[in-house]
Amino acid sequence: MRYISIDILRAFAIVMMVLVHFMENLGGADWAPAGIGAPLFTFLVGVSYRLWLDSQEEKKRPAHELVATSLRRGLFLFALGFAFNVLVWLPEDAFNWDVLTLIGSGLLILCAIRDMPLLVPLTGILVALACGPVMRELGDYNSYWLEGYYDPDWTWGQLALGYIATGYFPLFPWVAYPLAGFVTASLFFVPGQRAPTGRAMLLGGALIALSVVVVLVRSPVLKGWTMFPPSVAYTLGTLGFALLAFAALHRWLDPYGGRFEKTRFVRAAGLLSKYSLSMYLFHHVVHLWPVWVYGALAGDTTTQYWRMALPVWATIPLAAVCLVVGGVLFAWIDRTKRGSAETLMRKWCG
Q: How many CB atoms lie within 10 A of CB 70?
A: 22
Spatial separation of the C-alpha atoms in residues 151 and 166, rounded to whole Å = 10
pLDDT at 31 over 80: no
pLDDT in tens, 69-124: 999 999 999 999 999 999 999 999 999 999 999 999 999 999 999 999 999 999 99
The sign of the torsion formed by the CA atoms of 63, 185, 35, 276 equals positive
pLDDT at 203 over 70: yes
pTM strictly above 0.85 = yes
Which amino acid is residue 342, in one-letter code?
A: E
What percent of the chain has a predicted confidence (pLDDT) above 90? 88
Mean pLDDT, residues 31-56 taken together: 93
Does the N-terminal peptide bond of residue 229 adopt cis geometry, omega within 30 degrees of 0?
A: yes
Q: How many CB atoms lie within 10 A of CB 4?
A: 24
Residue 148, pLDDT score:
84
Which amino acid is residue 151, in one-letter code?
A: D
Cβ distance 184 to 112 under 8 Å?
A: no
Spatial separation of the C-alpha atoms in residues 251 and 201, rounded to whole Å = 10
Which amino acid is residue 320, in one-letter code?
A: A
Q: DSSP assignment, residue 168? A: S
Spatial separation of the C-alpha atoms in residues 211 and 233, rounded to whole Å = 4
Confidence at 147, pLDDT banded by 50, 70, 90 = confident
Q: Where are the domains of the chain?
A: 4-349
> What separation in angstroms does the CA of 151 have from each of 21, 86, 117, 125, 158?
19, 15, 39, 27, 10
Mean pLDDT, the chain, as a whole number? 94
Q: Which residues contact 221 (CB under 8 A, 6 or more apart)?
A: none
What percent of the chain has a predicted confidence (pLDDT) above 70? 100
